[in-house]
């Protein structure tokens, strides 16, 4: 200590702290201040998170109390709501399931056991929740005042989901006996927001479950679909549907041909390709309603029949069935369909349907008919083994007319009446319209080729 005092006494009274010492002191102060500030903020956030968790716990308890207060467990459905408390937004999510005699949790579209009670799960989250903090979760079992079923009767559970996999609400359900069973004294209610409906205390037997809703259609394009179920004593059975409001498609045929629209067959088929498979619609339309598949549809003129063990089908109408080839000394790339287009439920969108177009000359007035044919080998047509016939009506009137046909090979005929004897139209009176470079006339057969040069 004496030596230190001596050094301090020897310092000049004019001497002070150096710049380096000041900077070091400031740096140390800054580090300490930042640490204190961060600790204070962390403590405040943790305190706020604890308070929010207490609020979330109260909200979960309140949600379960509301569920327990419901007189009918069938009215308790999935749902989400928000609540703002002291500036914090809380999200309350309620999910429900039925509990069978086995103890398993099932939805209205699954399971086969007798329904005993309803499980209600509540999850509460909030904005600003710390990443390390778990949401508040709580659940309860709700038993009905009376037994849902008795050992001598059964239950039909109906599940109707839309294209997104969530419930389709407001769908009318009708249950009718087909073998055994008995007419229901009261039909099930329309589906709730979960897409569920229930027929309780049903006499054992076979029943037809049908559903309906205006402007709605199922995944196989049925407007009023139905399902057959067998009800057993003491058990339950599910009838499942995918059903949604239809999307509408406005059709433009021969969209690849410039100029005036050619004549179209009166009985034209149209095939629609999607991830759900192929749907063929008969009869020419300007608009069609389809199940609103998110990935969309590609429209193809003609009736597509997939090859099977029983036959080669009819694939030439599908551009995607045409492989790369050389025709008329032109290298052609493999055919492709038009890009899929999707219409939202209750929405509308246009759909282009390309076709081949033929000019037909005729002296006099006559009816025109096209019949699928075997193509010349040089055409590399994938073929249509199932005979297709398309009629145009009385379109041959002293001159030339352009007519549109599905891709593939065709013989064309004229007749004095729609059902009268046919006379084949020769190649000298036929011509190919547009830039279908692979299309050829081989003999009297016209092959309409969708492929483009490569």
Secondary structure string (H, E, C) spanning the chain: CHHHHHHHHHCCCCCCCCHHHHHHHHHHHHHHHHHHHHHHHHHHHHHHHHHHHHHHHHHHHHHHHHHHHCCCHHHCCCEEEEEEECCEEEEEEEEEEEEECCCCEECCCCCCCCEEEEEEEEEEEECCCCCCCCCEEEEEEECCCCCCCCCCCEEEEEEEECCCCCECCCCEEEEEEEEECCCCCCCCCCCCCCCEEEEEEECCEEEEEEEECCCEEECCCCCCCEEEEEECCCCEEEEEEEEEECEEEEEEECCCCCCCCCECCCCCEEEEEECCEEEEEECCCCEEEECCCCCCEEEEECCCECCECCECCECCCCHHHCCCEEECCEEECCCCCCCCECCCCCCEEEEEECCEEEEEEEEEEEEEEEEECCCCHHHCCCCECCCCEEEEEEEEEEEEEEEEECCEEEEEEEECCCCCCCEECCHHHEEEECCCCCCEEECCEEEECCCCEC
What domains appear along the chain, each with residue ranges and CATH number?
Answer: 44-146 (3.30.1300.30), 149-244 (2.60.40.1120)
pLDDT in tens, the chain (454 residues): 455 455 445 544 455 567 877 777 778 777 776 666 666 666 667 788 888 989 999 999 999 998 888 777 888 889 999 999 989 999 999 998 888 777 788 788 777 667 778 889 999 999 988 888 899 999 888 877 566 667 889 889 999 999 999 999 999 999 999 999 999 999 999 999 999 999 988 999 999 999 999 999 999 999 999 999 999 988 889 999 999 999 999 999 999 998 888 999 999 999 999 999 999 999 889 999 999 999 999 999 999 999 988 888 999 999 999 999 999 889 999 999 999 999 999 999 999 999 999 999 998 999 999 999 999 999 999 999 999 999 999 999 999 999 999 999 999 999 999 889 999 999 999 999 988 888 999 889 999 999 999 8
- 154-161 and 196-202 as β-strands: parallel, antiparallel, unpaired? antiparallel
Contact of 252 with 350, CB cutoff 8 Å: yes
Q: C-alpha distances in angstroms, 44 versus 39, 85, 355, 362?
A: 9, 18, 70, 91
Contact of 396 with 415, CB cutoff 8 Å: no
Which one, of 308, 162, 315, 320, lies nearest residue 247 by Cα? 162
- Name the burial class of residue 303, with classes exposed (0-12), middle (13-18) and buried (19+) by CB atoms within 10 angstroms of its CB: buried
Q: C-alpha distances in angstroms, 387 versus 117, 166, 266, 311, 370?
A: 58, 43, 17, 12, 11
Name residue 218's beta-bridge partners: 243
């Amino acid at each position: 200590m004496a030596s230190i005092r001596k050094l301090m006494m020897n310092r000049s009274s004019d001497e002070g702290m150096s710049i380096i010492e000041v900077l070091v002191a400031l740096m140390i102060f800054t580090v300490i201040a930042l640490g204190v500030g961060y600790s204070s903020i962390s403590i405040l956030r943790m305190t706020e998170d604890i308070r929010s968790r207490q609020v979330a716990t109260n909200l979960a308890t309140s949600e379960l109390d509301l569920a327990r207060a419901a007189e009918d467990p069938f009215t308790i459905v999935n749902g989400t709501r928000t609540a703002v408390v002291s500036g914090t937004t809380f999200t309350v999510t309620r999910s429900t399931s039925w509990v069978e005699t086995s103890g398993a949790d099932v939805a209205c579209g699954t399971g086969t056991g007798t329904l005993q009670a309803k499980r209600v799960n509540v999850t509460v989250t909030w904005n600003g929740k710390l990443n390390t903090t778990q949401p508040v979760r709580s659940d309860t079992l709700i038993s009905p005042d009376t037994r849902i079923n008795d050992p001598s009767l059964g239950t039909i559970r109906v599940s109707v989901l839309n294209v997104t996999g969530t419930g389709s609400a407001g769908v009318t359900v009708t249950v009718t006996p087909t073998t055994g069973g008995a007419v229901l004294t009261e039909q099930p209610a329309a589906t709730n927001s979960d897409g569920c409906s229930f027929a309780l205390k049903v006499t054992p037997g076979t029943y037809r479950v049908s559903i309906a809703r205006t402007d709605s259609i199922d995944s196989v394009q049925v407007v009023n679909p139905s399902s057959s179920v067998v009800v057993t004593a003491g058990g339950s059975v599910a009838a499942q549907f995918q059903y949604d409001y239809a999307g509408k498609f406005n059709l433009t045929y021969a969209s690849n041909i410039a100029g005036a629209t050619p004549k179209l067959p009166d009985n034209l088929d149209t095939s629609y390709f999607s991830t759900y498979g192929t749907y063929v619609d008969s009869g020419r339309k300007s608009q069609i309603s389809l199940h609103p598949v998110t990935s969309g549809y590609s429209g193809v003129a003609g009736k597509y029949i997939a090859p099977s063990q029983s036959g080669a089908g009819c694939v030439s109408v599908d551009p995607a069935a045409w492989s790369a080839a050389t025709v008329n000394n032109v290298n052609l790339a493999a055919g492709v369909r038009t890009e899929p287009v999707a219409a939202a439920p209750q929405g509308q969108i246009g759909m282009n349907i390309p076709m081949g177009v033929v000019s037909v000359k005729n002296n006099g007035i006559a009816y025109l008919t096209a019949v699928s044919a075997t193509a010349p080998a040089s055409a590399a047509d994938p073929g249509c083994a199932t005979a297709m016939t398309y009629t145009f009506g009385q379109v041959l009137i002293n001159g030339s007319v352009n007519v549109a046909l599905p891709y593939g090979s065709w013989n064309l005929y004229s007749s004095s009446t729609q059902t009268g004897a046919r006379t084949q139209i020769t190649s000298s009176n036929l011509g190919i319209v547009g830039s279908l470079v692979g299309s050829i006339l081989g003999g009297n057969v016209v092959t309409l080729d969708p492929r483009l040069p490569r």
